[in-house]
Structure 1
Amino acid sequence: MVRNSSRRDFVRAALVGASVLAAPVPLAGTAQAADRSGARADNATGGAPGGPGAPSAFTPADKLGFGTARGGRSPVWFTLEGGRMSETYYPDLSTPASRETQLVVTDGRTFVERASDVPTRTELPEPGVPGYRQISTGHGWQAVTRYVTDPQRAAVLLDFEVRSTSGAPLQVYVLHDPALSANGDDDRAFPQGGALVAQDARSASALVAAAGFAESTVGYFGVNDGWTELLAYKGRLTHRYSTAGPGNVVQLGRLRLDGLAHTRQTVVLGYGSDANEALGTARRALRTGFTQAAHDYATGWRSYLAALPKPPASLRTAREKRLYTASVMTLTASEDKNNPGAFIASPTMPWAFGTDRKVAPVSGSYHLVWPRDLYHIATGLLAAGDREAAERALDYLLRIQQPDGHWAQNTTVDGKPFWTGVQLDETAAPMLLAWLLDRHDTSTLDRLARGADFILGYSADGHRAPYTQQERWEEQSGYSPSTIASVIAGLVCLADLLRRGGRGEQAAKYLAAADTWRDAVDGWTVTRTGPYSPKPYYLRLTKDGKPDTGTAYDLGNNNPAAVDQRAVVDAGFLELVRLGIKNAADPVVRNSLAVVDKHISVLTPSGRHWHRYSHDGYGEQADGAPWDVNRPDVQHTYGRLWPIFSGERAEYELLDGNRRAAAGRLRDMAATAGETLLLPEQVWDDQPPAPRVRPGTPTTSATPLAWTHAQYLRLAWSVQRGRPVEYPTVVAERYVRG
């Protein structure tokens, strides 16, 4: 994703700390220059030594905030984590542009603390407006930080209010770590027009303060960045540098705050294609001011929500209704501004995806578009009343279809394939979405038929479809009940659309394949010789279509040995019921439910939740350390519980006539939300590091996960209506009710 190109020569100003709205302090290079605090700029030089700095790594994925303005004029997003603003994204949602921005507070003598080092509470004052505040309490100080983006331009505004609680004056800094164009190792930093500017070959950022910076420095991460200097010299900048790079650069500017007479100041992070554009953007946002920007920001979100139906009556508590509204907000914020319909999976980089260049040579992969996740996001927003968003999602999918008819495993928001595995359920997903939207125009049908023809002609590893190179967890090839269910339902839905479009004769071959695979699915995926039950039950998948043989395969994710396929189960077979292919009362389905409940479910204080499959290793280490697959010291990792499975189970229970149980699952999903109502990918189970962590609470996995929020929205309306809202009745009429 990061393109190599020549770096432009920069004209660097000699001033450090020149003010946007106030007079500049003395030159950084002037011997014995003093600022208002009395700190002296001894040994100040022009360029920071020691580059390129430690390799950049992105912050943890368990976010506490995710925000952007409504509308396309502000192509910038922010995330929050642990007392700080973590990644921002610019110019699109596939491109991180910074690693962190946060306060550093010191008295210049006895302590120096970052906001991320002290207790912090993050709040979402209005669930439908992603304008957050963080309250941090340190050694003799308290800070309240508010965040919004400017609806008119690519800028994030941070409103800092810092007060001394000890009566002693404070020195307050803002620490910023740029990571432009998804790469934090090739940036240059320099002062320009009173701002702290960073630039690489593709974009630039400018950090400005309303009252200017009293002093500033730039340096290399882990070597001589501002935080390193303050920590080493007890809150004093003994060394100050004006320029750094290329490398992993960090910028630090002291705000004109003392926590007593001066307590509040706005800082703006502006973006552009080059330094001049970024600086102009930041200055215009600063002139707008935080109060006006926050007002316009909130107005845009309130107007959007006002046009949608109110939350369903199935949500009984105020918290559940707030979570519903926050889920709509989170999904809506996940759409790229420059590529309508491109909704990413999550604005995060969990575990090794943010730190290990072997796993993720460029940042990824969650801030990409996955056709499967996009289907869930679109159906969630469709259930919430935003049909236009679902239409945009389908239009986007039709635009990015590959020449041979299939859909790539995932793409950047502009449609470029990123990972290239073939997952047949992702090629079926646009057919299911098109059926829900009743899209049977000629162009749509032509593209969907190309996808269906790809499925019918697909083969790999000596097997023909519905054998897939990757099933929905993207780790294994084989015959997967969940994939087969998606493909059968997709073909039947396409056939119905063709009939409505006056092309009924074209539908016959798709229906024939769907019927054949429906009759064969149990023979490929149901074992009668497995270790978990004397009765037949569905497997996660079979590698060879022979479920009664002990074929072993490597599960990956740090599992030490191959596992008999008969000993690996998941709840993916529920897709056969949820997509109208099997009856909820099917005896093999019933027995399989008993098997998965016994072997991969855990009862937590947040309700019963399920693992992806037996022996899943996609999750933290036993002590809670991050998942990785390239380190010899990481011997075993443990996949935890996924709240989405409570939603899938509830949709099954609705089809089984148990509305009360489904409503309970809705409450269980809600119980997994964090303090700012973001829903995670995974929650802790009852294994270590429990009891240090509370089972049923979010892990350090991707948070927010759009799929989880979509499942919650969809389930809320499904419980309200008594049936799954995306249930393809045309499939059920053929196989269940016929």
Structure 2
Amino acid sequence: MLGMCVVATVAGSAVPSIAEPGKAPGAPGVDPGYLDADKQGFGTARSAESPVWFTLGRGGAADLYYPNLSTPVSRQLQVVVTDGRDFVQRLSDVPTRTEPIDAKNPSYRQISTGDGWQATATYVTDPARSAVTVDLRVTSQRGELRTYAIHEPTLGKDGSDDSSRTEGSTLVASDRSAAGALRSAPAFTETSSGYLGTSDGWTDLSRHKQLTALYDKAGPGHVGQVGRLPVDGVGASRAVLTLGFGAREHDAIATAEATEKAGFDAVAAAYRDGWHRYADTLQQPEHLTDEHQKNVYWSSAMMLAASEDKQSPGAFVASPSMPWAFRNDPEMAPESGPYHLVWPRDLYQHATALLAAGDRGAAERALDYLWSIQEPDGHLPQNTQTTGEPFWTSVQLDQTAFPIVLSWQLGRADEQQVRKAADFLVGFTHDGHAAPYTEQERWENHSGYSPGTIASAIAGLVCAADLVERSGDAETAQRYRAVADEWAAKVDGWTATGNGPHSPQPYYLRLTKDGKPNEGTTYNPGDNYPEEVDQRTQVDPSFLELVRLGVKRPDDPVVVNSLKVIDEVLGEQTPAGQHWHRFTNDGYGEREDGADWNIGHGRTYGRLWPLFAGERGEYELLAGQPDQAAERLRSMAATAGEGLLLPEQVWDNRPGGEPGTPNRSATPLAWTHAQYVRLAVSLEAGAPVETPSVVADRYTR
């Protein structure tokens, strides 16, 4: 570092002064939130010794997690290329292509093409340590360039109290909970720490196309780090970046140094081998002859397995992303958003998919986790941190019922937990209504009688009855079956309208607020819809749970008519096949001008959900239509992005984006990947592998 200001002239242009080393100005820095949720890659080592995860944005790592999947520890790590005079570009500013190394290995290379230069960056984590390492190669067609690595830590989730400094050639960041250390091999030739938006490296580079000020330290606050790489794209073209994490600064530095010493090639080989050994234990559906569908199957299985927390085995998160307002609105998401929480319903999807693929151990761990978070009254919380701490606390009956079904599917007794959960289902009341009325249905913003929730509750009670009867308690088993039978007999009366506007024949509603589907009871569907709606106008595909879980036959006339209704009201054809909206008037999506979803900031529009194609495919298998079910798998695979990740939503035929391609919703969404895996295996088996036979035997066979 220079200890005094220097002014020089190079090639006829003035080089700005270099500030005296010291603490950066501009505290506390701005909070930029997190990057968009439409990730192009998601990876971690298979080993438990490496509790660090990365995601890739559209050019560089974005949202890293450590030491668990509920804690984003870094906003971004990426590269800047400049000639020092005429241009400055980040990888995310230029066209970038993401390529999986192979479908059985969640490692990726990104190829970014700028103005006369190209950068290739390959990402893995170290199976032996908590470190992310990047093999960077830059080539120039316009002479020597300057390259920089920029890193924005968010230690402890929000990054508001981080401090950064240089130790030797290592950039170190820390707060009270964790630390990170960023190194380069060969070593950085310049480093600086500053406050985001005022004195950080990217702010300096974007304004001046070169670093004009180098600061030894910054913080506490929102800090950014920059290191100049000894890569000019001509004489020197390769560097390896390593970002290590630890509880304290010396731990993070030691981790980064050890991974760097091991070498990128050896680390990448160990990473690959760990995942390939895991893939060898899983089922390969032989019917998948299409290469893309096969690759999406393997990518889905790897994504599901990578979503398991390593500190709390069995805690699988919904998505390693923060869509829309969840990434930058502290009122909406004071702890960085709900998607990297554990939801019992999503975890059930995780577990049944991995069980279908051949990973029984994962399903066992998931069930152990579910029972570990059971509340004293028997219900399961709406969601939890990976540590098991409840986050949101509304009651959703399906999230209490599904663990019972999973216990039955695994052939486990879990008698005490099953009894408590079943008793809760039987005795629950809310707003003066008795179960199966639920405080929230599976879309989580309404109470009422939902056919999907009721289906799961019936299945849960029938499975509970079978389990407790095996222990010798026939009386309790009969009580559970009697309630299940009553609900099965009444579900149409609670949720199927015979005088709605969509058909003269009965069809299932999204839900009823009062159990009176022929009444024009009104409610606001939520997610920024501007007015009340008649409940008879509101439909969704959740009634298919009645068929998939064995409560209704696929040829039931109300089911068949309801399919026609949702195809007309919610379905759209896209270049990626037929897909469906979540429910009538859904507002969970971008605004009409493409701006982010938020609450209370104008009308928003939900798009199409690929997971519904998977649910439809499972129905079609039960209906004896395997060709149509196979087409649903093709439609789901067609929505995958470059990194083979499946999204929560894809663009519909409204203006905004290319129909059938991922929008800015949560990508990857574990539920979508789970649905794909389960449908792929079910196609191989000729029937849905998840349908509990004890329920189907009672009601449909």
Q: CA offset at residue 42 of structure 1?
A: 2.3
- Counterpart for residue 274 of structure 2: 300
- Counterpart for residue 398 of structure 2: 425
- Counterpart for residue 143 of structure 1: 119
What are the within-5 Å matches in structure 2 for residues 149-548 of structure 1?
149-166=125-142, 168-233=143-208, 235-309=209-283, 311-440=284-413, 444-548=414-518
| AA in 2 matched with 1:388 | G
1:705 equivalenced with 2:669 (yes/no): yes
1:85 equivalenced with 2:61 (yes/no): yes
- Counterpart for residue 89 of structure 2: 113
CA distance in 2, matches of 1:568, 1:60: 31
Check conservation: 2:166, 2:192, Cα contact below 8 A: no
The alignment partner of 1:143 has SS state of strand
Range moving further from structure 2, 217-226 or 383-392:
217-226
Q: CA offset at residue 597 of structure 1?
A: 0.7
1:596 equivalenced with 2:566 (yes/no): yes
Closer, same or farther: CA 78–39 of 1 in aligned 2, 3 Å: farther
The alignment partner of 2:101 has SS state of coil
CA distance in 1, matches of 2:389, 2:476: 31
| AA in 2 matched with 1:647 | G
CA distance in 2, matches of 1:493, 1:33: 78
| AA in 1 matched with 2:695 | V
- Counterpart for residue 645 of structure 1: 612
The alignment partner of 2:633 has SS state of helix
| AA in 2 matched with 1:382 | L
- Aligned-residue CA RMSD in angstroms? 1.5
For 1:521-541, what per-residue CA distance to the aligned partner results, in whole angstroms no more than 9, with x for missing partners?
A: 111111112111111111000
Q: CA offset at residue 627 of structure 1?
A: 0.8
The alignment partner of 2:609 has SS state of coil
The alignment partner of 1:698 has SS state of coil
Q: CA offset at residue 605 of structure 1?
A: 1.1
Check conservation: 1:602, 1:610, Cα contact below 8 A: yes
> Which runs of no fewer than 5 residues in structure 1 stay unpaired?
1-26
CA distance in 1, matches of 2:171, 2:600: 37
Check conservation: 1:53, 1:247, Cα contact below 8 A: yes
For 1:192-216, what per-residue CA distance to the aligned partner results, in whole angstroms no more than 9, with x for missing partners?
A: 2421111111001010111221111
Closer, same or farther: CA 28–427 of 1 in aligned 2, 3 Å: farther
Check conservation: 2:4, 2:19, Cα contact below 8 A: no
CA distance in 1, matches of 2:384, 2:18: 50
TM-score computed with the length of structure 2 as normaliser: 0.98
CA distance in 2, matches of 1:319, 1:652: 23
Q: CA offset at residue 258 of structure 1?
A: 1.3
| AA in 2 matched with 1:244 | A
Check conservation: 2:166, 2:193, Cα contact below 8 A: no
For 1:260-287, what per-residue CA distance to the aligned partner results, in whole angstroms no more than 9, with x for missing partners?
A: 1111011100000111111111111110
CA distance in 2, matches of 1:437, 1:314: 26
Q: CA offset at residue 708 of structure 1?
A: 0.5
TM-score computed with the length of structure 1 as normaliser: 0.93
Check conservation: 1:314, 1:663, Cα contact below 8 A: no
Q: CA offset at residue 178 of structure 1?
A: 0.4
CA distance in 2, matches of 1:323, 1:298: 17
The alignment partner of 2:483 has SS state of helix
Check conservation: 2:528, 2:600, Cα contact below 8 A: no
CA distance in 1, matches of 2:623, 2:62: 44
What are the within-5 Å matches in structure 2 for residues 658-669 of structure 1?
658-669=625-636
Closer, same or farther: CA 284–516 of 1 in aligned 2, 3 Å: same
The alignment partner of 1:450 has SS state of helix
The alignment partner of 2:289 has SS state of coil
The alignment partner of 2:648 has SS state of coil
- Counterpart for residue 21 of structure 1: none
- Counterpart for residue 571 of structure 1: 541
What are the within-5 Å matches in structure 2 for residues 655-694 of structure 1?
655-689=622-656, 693-694=657-658
For 1:470-508, what per-residue CA distance to the aligned partner results, in whole angstroms no more than 9, with x for missing partners?
A: 000101000000000000001101111222333333212
CA distance in 1, matches of 2:265, 2:659: 40
The alignment partner of 2:542 has SS state of coil
CA distance in 2, matches of 1:577, 1:660: 19
CA distance in 1, matches of 2:206, 2:179: 28
| AA in 1 matched with 2:200 | D
CA distance in 2, matches of 1:81, 1:42: 32
CA distance in 2, matches of 1:651, 1:513: 27
| AA in 2 matched with 1:70 | R
CA distance in 2, matches of 1:388, 1:364: 29
Q: CA offset at residue 630 of structure 1?
A: 3.8
CA distance in 2, matches of 1:404, 1:438: 24
| AA in 2 matched with 1:366 | Y
- Counterpart for residue 14 of structure 1: none
Check conservation: 1:568, 1:614, Cα contact below 8 A: yes
- Which one of the candidate residues 560, 579, 597 is aligned to 1:627? 597
For 1:287-315, what per-residue CA distance to the aligned partner results, in whole angstroms no more than 9, with x for missing partners?
A: 01101100100010111111222x21232
- Which one of the candidate residues 678, 690, 693 is aligned to 1:726? 690
The alignment partner of 1:574 has SS state of helix
Q: CA offset at residue 45 of structure 1?
A: 3.7
| AA in 2 matched with 1:53 | G
CA distance in 1, matches of 2:653, 2:5: 61
- Counterpart for residue 10 of structure 1: none
